[in-house]
Amino acid sequence: MKFYITTPIYYVNDRPHIGHIYTTTIADIFARYHRMLGDDVFFLTGTDEHATKVVVAAAEQGLTAQEWADRNAAAFQETFRKLGISNDDFIRTSQERHKRKVQQYVRELMARGDVYLGEYEGWYDAGQEEYLTESKAKEYEYKSPISGRPLVRKREKNYFFRLSRYEGALQRLLEEQPDFVRPDIRRNEVMQRIAEGLNDVPISRLGAGEWGIPVPGDEQHVIYVWIDALFNYLSTVDTPERERYWPADVHLIAKDILWFHAVIWPALLMALGRPLPRQVYAHSFWIAEGQKMSKSLGNFVDLEKIDGYVSRYGLDALRFFLASQGPLGINDSDFADAKFREVYEAQLKNDLGNLINRSLAMLQRYRGAVPAATSHPLRAEAENMVASYRACMDGLDLTGALRAVGSFVTRANQFVEESAPWKLARETAEAGRLDDVLYSLAESVRLLAVVLEPVMPSSAAKIRAQLGIAQRPGAWAETSWGGLPVGAKPGEVTPLFPKVET
């Protein structure tokens, strides 16, 4: 099977921060999981470059828009490389391959009568480069719901997309395919807003020769950044070599851009006669120490802070924290230093790390190699964990998947105390029982390496090395109990998650 997952493409008006890193890391985890299943995976991320704010920021730096975009796009690429992100492509909207496709799609929309020239007057959010309806502008007290800055009353000629034409089709889509938008609360928000009625939306602005993609056949107009950006998901795979990946399986986004992805994007695809993505998943936000993140408050988790966490705790610890504590559901999540340390100490160092360390240390001390077993006391619990993990991962419930893993780690640690291998080792008559215990613990450790590989690939490789088994990426077939070869000799056993000084 194929699996195509995307992140939003990120504005190049600034460097990467925790929001970008979170979404991209979660997408990376699901991409790695599906590769483990043997799926044909395509994982896309990239940068959104044609915003007016890019021109403004570039001018403040004494640079052209292209120079500024090049600099910040490179920062995103380098950050993702350092963080081990396994994306298959990195799309930039200033690339010719994208611009050609966007103009092609707009021509098609014009030919179908879904794009027309008209005049618009309304409340404009300059930061988001979008218009708000009168009712929405009033609801937000004529301020941007994102930046809080005053909206601007504008009147200009634009090319419009006939969004109103697709109101009924969008309602049917959300009613007949409830998983198209998740979580459920986000779908309900979208349905309520559609029920209020859809107006046609402007998709261009006057600006001959400005930074952006000209409207085909009328270069006095530049295509708005938001429609330009949405087309990246299609333009990247709309080639003979990649066409098998469309439609996308998951668009992973933050909740603030839900409207574009859950309403305008599927309507554009309907107008083009293209298959729709299977799901739009909108996660919530990170906050810091109980407050909204803000540069002015000094609580913004930027690249320097991210680098600090990686330096102190390791990249896998950061990935685990984001995956297990992040706002994938409907609630915002707190990125607090004390919470990060607590998760590292309790879940990684004391629970998972301790289980692996003492299981393999006892295997090495008492047998020197994996023994044969006649009984498998942890098998049922391990198989239940694997089944729960897969069901959760298939449903994009990463938190639930890691909860299942954590519960099994707790049970395995309890089993160590109950079986007391150090006592069995002193009794010759208990040799068979000791073999069963040591095999079950070692096999449990092996299974943990497999299921944790998408989240903590480096740690999974270290577990394999300590087990003395092949250093290859895990495959789902390896989650069957009994895969640990008898006679395998453990390597050097060292703590995976060492103590971090305060």
Percent of the chain with pLDDT over 70: 98
Q: Flag whether pLDDT at 71 surpasses 80.
A: yes
Cβ contact 445:467 at 8 Å: yes
Q: Flag whether pLDDT at 295 surpasses 70.
A: no
Give the pLDDT band (50/70/90) at residue 300: confident
Q: Flag whether pLDDT at 287 surpasses 70.
A: yes
Percent of the chain with pLDDT over 90: 83
Which of the listed ranges 57-66, 93-102, 281-290 does the model predict with the highest average pLDDT? 93-102
**pLDDT for position 112:** 97
**pLDDT for position 470:** 78
Answer with the residue of higher pLDDT: 353 or 133: 353
Q: Flag whether pLDDT at 296 surpasses 70.
A: no
Report strand pairing: 280-283 vs 250-254: parallel
Q: What is Dmax (Cα atoms) for the chain? A: 90
**pLDDT for position 140:** 86
- Which residue ranges form the domains of the chain, and what is each CATH number? 337-479 (1.10.730.10)
245 token code pair: 């990946």
Give the pLDDT band (50/70/90) at residue 297: low
Q: Which amino acid is at 92?
A: R
Nearest to 12 by CA among 67, 52, 54: 54
Tens-place pLDDT, residues 140-174: 888 888 788 899 898 878 899 999 999 999 999 99
Q: Flag whether pLDDT at 273 surpasses 70.
A: yes
CA distance 274 to 246: 9
Q: What angle do CA 6, 274, 268 make, to 5 degrees?
A: 75
Give the pLDDT band (50/70/90) at residue 137: confident
**pLDDT for position 274:** 98
Cβ contact 335:300 at 8 Å: no
Q: Flag whether pLDDT at 91 surpasses 70.
A: yes
- Tell the burial category of 294 from Cβ atoms under 10 Å away from its Cβ (0-12, 13-18, 19+): exposed
**pLDDT for position 495:** 94
- Average of pLDDT values for 61-79? 95
Could you tell me which residues come within 8 angstroms of residue 468 by beta carbon, excluding any fewer than 6 positions away?
488, 489, 490, 491
